[in-house]
Amino acid sequence: MGDRRALVTGITGQDGSYLAEFLLERGYDVYGLIRRSSTVNFERIRHIQDDVHLLSGDLLDQNSLMFAIQEARPHEVYNLGAQSFVPASWAQPLLTGEITALGVARLLEAIRSTDAEIRFYQASTSELFGKVRESPQTETTPFYPRSPYGVSKVYGHWITINYRESYDMYACAGILFNHESPRRGLEFVSRKITNGVARIKHGRDSRLLLGNLDARRDWGYAGDFVRAMWMMLQQETPDDFVIATGRDRTIREFCEAAFGSVGLDWEEYVQVDERFLRPAEVEVLRGDPSKARRVLGWEPEVSFEEMVAMMVERDMELVALEK
Ligand code: NAP
Ligand code: G4F
C-alpha cells in the first residue's frame, strides 16, 4: 500500500493508462473509474490491471461518483473521463455536454461533499481557444470554442476554477494541446495516419482518406503530458497551465513524417474525402508553455519525430499480427 491514493476517471483511455503507470511508479495506490460496457475495453491497462483498483462508475451518475470517492478516499482526483472525439460531439451534442461539461460538476460536487481537501485535476484542452484570438495561446488567451466538445470543455474549465474560488478547493485545469502515442484512439488523425501507413506498407490498403490537410496542431507525446498533470497537483497553490510543445505542424507534415519513416511518399496514397471535414474547424493551435516551464519545471522529452516513429513502429507490429 502506498501513502498516496489517486482516483483517475478515464483510466481506460490514452492518458488514463499513461497516468496510471506514472502514479504506480511513484508508489501511489491507483483507483480507476470504469463504466459498464458489454465488451471489455481494458486494452490500454491490461498490463497494469492487477496493480490498480477498478471501481464501477460513470460521469453521468452522481451516486457512483460519491461511492468511488468514498471507496478510494483519494488524495488526488484526475478527471480525464470525457466524450473526447470532436466530430462525435456534433452527432451527440447533448451526451457530450452531460459527460464532458456536467460530468465535471458532478465530480466536483462528490469531492466537495465527501472531502474538500482532495486535490483535483481537470483535463482542459486547447480546443477552448478554437478560432484563436492570438498566437501562440497562453493561460490568458480568450476562449472561442468551435464544437459542442469545445463548448462543453469551456464549462468544465470554468466550473473547476469556480469551485477553487467559491470553496477554496485545490482544483487545477491543465490546458493541454494535442498529445499522441501508440495508444491513441484510431479515429484521431495522428493514429489514423500511422495505422494507415502500416496497413499500406503491409499491403493491406492502397490509400488513406483524410479531411482537412491544412489544419495545424501543436503535437506532443502523451507520456510527457501526463507528467505535467501530476506536477500541477504537487504545487503549493492550485493554478492553471498551458501544456504544449510550442511548435505547430500541418496534417500534411504529419503525413510526410509518418509515410517517410517507412520510405513511402505520402502524396501517392493520401486522398481528401469531404466526409472528414468538420462543420466548424479549428484551423491552427500553437501553445506557449513558458509558465509551465518556469513554475513547474516541465519540459517535453520526446520529440515530434521520435513520437511519429514510435507510433508507426508499433502500428507496423500490430498490423503484422492481424490475421
Ligand atoms: P480518450 O482516450 O478518449 O479517453 C476518454 C476516457 O473517458 C475513456 O477512458 C472513456 O471510457 C472515459 N469516459 C467516456 N465517457 C465516460 C463516462 N460517461 N463516464 C466515465 N468515463 C467516461 O481520451 P484521452 O486522449 O485519454 O484524453 C483524456 C482527457 O484529456 C479527456 O478529457 C480529453 O477530452 C482531454 N484532452 C485530451 C487531449 C489529447 O490530445 N489527447 C488534449 C487535451 C485534453 P471508455 O474506455 O469506457 O470509453
Ligand atoms: O486528431 P483530431 O481528431 O484531434 P482534435 O480535433 O484536434 O482533438 C483532439 O485534441 C484536442 C486538443 O486540442 C482534444 F481536446 C480532443 O479531445 C482530441 O484529443 O484532429 C486534428 C485535426 C483537425 O483539424 C481535423 O480536421 O486533424 C484534422 N483532420 C484531417 N483529416 C482529421 C482528419 N481528423 C480526424 N480525426 N480524421 C481525419 O481524417
What does DSSP say about strands 241-243 and 171-176: parallel, antiparallel, or unpaired? parallel
Read off the C-alpha cell for 85.
472525439
> Cβ atoms within 10 A of the Cβ of 203, count?
8
* Terminal-to-terminal C-alpha distance of the chain: 42
pLDDT of residue 13: 98
Q: Active site residue: 127, 141, 221, 269, which one?
A: 127
Read off the C-alpha cell for 218.
501543436
pLDDT of residue 227: 98
pLDDT of residue 2: 62
Nearest CA to ligand 2 atom 24: 215
Q: Active site residue: 125, 141, 194, 245, which one?
A: 125
10-residue mean pLDDT series, the chain (323 residues)? 89 98 98 95 97 98 98 98 98 98 98 97 99 98 98 99 98 98 98 98 98 98 98 98 98 98 98 98 98 98 98 98 89
CB 107 within 8 Å of CB 59 = yes
Element (H, E) at 7: strand 5-9
Q: Which H, E and C letters describe 271-298, residue by residue?
A: EECHHHCCCCCCCECCECCHHHHHHHCC
One-letter amino acid for residue 305 of the chain: E
Cα(161) to ligand 2 centroid in Å equals: 26
> CA 269: distance to chain centroid?
28
pLDDT of residue 18: 99
- Which among 264, 266, 216 has a CA at the least distance from the CA of 244? 216
CB 254 within 8 Å of CB 261 = no
Angstrom distance (rounded) from CA 52 to CA 31 = 6
pLDDT of residue 260: 98
Length, in residues, of the chain: 323
pLDDT of residue 300: 98
pLDDT of residue 323: 77
Read off the C-alpha cell for 220.
506532443
Element (H, E) at 166: helix 148-167
Q: Name every protein residue with a CB atom under 6 angstroms from any ligand 1 atom.
A: 9-10, 12-16, 33, 35, 37, 41, 58-60, 80-84, 99, 123, 125, 176, 178-179, 185
Alpha helices (H) along 10-80: 14-25, 62-72
- Which among 150, 180, 184, 139 has a CA at the least distance from the CA of 296? 139
One-letter amino acid for residue 291 of the chain: K
144 catalytic residue (yes or no): no
